[in-house]
Amino acid sequence: MSGVRENGVIVAIDGPSGAGKSSLTKLLAKRLGYIHIDTGAMFRSVALMARRAGVACEDDAALAELCGGLDISFCRDGESCRVLANGEDVSGAIRTEEIGLLTSCISARKPVREALLSMQRKMGKKGGVILEGRDIGTVVFPDAEVKFFLSASAEERGRRRFLELQARGEAATLEETIDKVVQRDRQDEGREHAPLRQADDAIAIDSTDLSIEEVLELMEKTVRQRLAAAQQG
């Protein structure tokens, strides 16, 4: 790797559901002073704007037009990153249950995925960003300077999810939660567009027996080593 981008490096964090990607991405971005490009928030922003415009999630032509006129950006605000859609702070508006349900449909539409892929590449090309998902290191930024593939056993990921549901007062059993994690893995690995897989040059981290702090320290150390090597090169 020769040199660094204008704002640093691109860090891609991929892995299955429940591996801790979102929490670790936010913490790592804070440690490094990087922007966290929340790809899920981008899909939620499209869903919010589609709902406001009365665009049905099956109307690909209208969705393509909507995305063509949509500008999504992120900015650091103290401890967190804010989500802006056409200059409006939508950080809270995109987190409702209604928008979450609509996002599930919106995110499966090809015109939306293509439009957001282009946006994500434009946002991150100067570096100084961290993205997490299932195809960041393989599809969105195959040229990312640092790639992690974060995983944990299905049992551990199911246990973590079960504890989250319990904390929210939602009814669930540990067994059925683990079963849903396994089902989600099959869907992600078998989907036609951008299936979940580990990039050949990604650093694999199994967090089954590691704390968040242990994984975070490993990631931060790796990124800083890559930065130092790039600056020397």
Question: What pLDDT was estimated at residue 171?
Answer: 82
Give the helix/strand (H/E) hosting 166: helix 154-167
List the CATH number of the domain containing 228: 3.40.50.300
Q: Decide if 3 is inside a domain.
A: no
Q: Tell me: do 170 and 227 sit in the same domain.
A: yes
- Report the amino acid identity of residue 195: P
> Token pair for residue 187?
């869907």
Q: Which of 151-155, 160-164, 181-185 has the lowest mean pLDDT?
A: 181-185
Q: Decide if 75 is inside a domain.
A: yes
Question: What pLDDT was estimated at residue 53?
Answer: 97
Q: Decide if 92 is inside a domain.
A: yes
Q: Tell me: do 227 and 189 sit in the same domain.
A: yes
Q: Are 13 and 130 in contact (CB under 8 A)?
A: yes
151 Cα distance to chain centroid: 14
Q: Decide if 48 is inside a domain.
A: yes
Distance separating alpha carbons of residues 188 and 212, to the nearest angstrom: 24
Q: Tell me: do 61 and 168 sit in the same domain.
A: no
Q: Decide if 113 is inside a domain.
A: yes
pLDDT exceeds 80 at position 178? yes
Residues with Cβ within 8 Å of 211's Cβ and at least 6 positions away in sequence, in order, are: none
Distance separating alpha carbons of residues 143 and 125, to the nearest angstrom: 10
- Candidates 56, 28, 62, 45; CA nearest to 218 is 28
Q: Tell me: do 108 and 84 sit in the same domain.
A: yes
Q: Tell me: do 136 and 230 sit in the same domain.
A: yes
- Candidates 145, 138, 121; CA nearest to 198 is 138
pLDDT interval class at 228 (50, 70, 90): confident
pLDDT exceeds 80 at position 184? no
Q: Decide if 4 is inside a domain.
A: no
Q: Tell me: do 211 and 144 sit in the same domain.
A: yes
Q: Tell me: do 143 and 231 sit in the same domain.
A: yes
The whole-model pTM stands at 0.79
Cβ burial of 71 (10 Å; 0-12, 13-18, 19+) is: exposed
Q: Tell me: do 165 and 118 sit in the same domain.
A: no
Residue finishing a domain among 88, 109, 127: 127
Q: What is the mean pLDDT of residues 211-227?
A: 95
Question: What pLDDT was estimated at residue 13?
Answer: 95
Rounded to 5 degrees, φ, ψ at 146 are -130, 125
Q: Tell me: do 149 and 192 sit in the same domain.
A: yes
The range of the structural domain enclosing residue 156 comes to: 9-34+129-233
Q: Tell me: do 178 and 223 sit in the same domain.
A: yes
Q: Decide if 1 is inside a domain.
A: no
Residue finishing a domain among 112, 127, 142: 127
Distance separating alpha carbons of residues 153 and 175, to the nearest angstrom: 14
Q: How far apart are the first and last CA of the chain?
A: 7
pLDDT, one tens digit per residue, over 134-161 is 889 998 999 999 999 999 999 999 998 8
Question: What pLDDT was estimated at residue 104?
Answer: 76
pLDDT exceeds 70 at position 24? yes
Q: Tell me: do 193 and 157 sit in the same domain.
A: yes
Q: Decide if 147 is inside a domain.
A: yes
Distance separating alpha carbons of residues 229 and 41, to the nearest angstrom: 32
Rounded CA Rg of the chain: 18
pLDDT, one tens digit per residue, over 192-208 is 666 788 999 999 999 99
Q: Tell me: do 52 and 114 sit in the same domain.
A: yes
Q: What is the mean pLDDT of residues 47-60?
A: 96
pLDDT interval class at 48 (50, 70, 90): very high
Question: What pLDDT was estimated at residue 1?
Answer: 45
Q: Are 116 and 37 in contact (CB under 8 A)?
A: no
Work out the mean pLDDT of the chain and round it to a whole number: 89
Residue finishing a domain among 67, 102, 127: 127
Of residues 131 and 101, which shows the higher confidence score?
131
Query: Number of folded domains in the chain?
Result: 2
Q: Are 83 and 90 in contact (CB under 8 A)?
A: yes
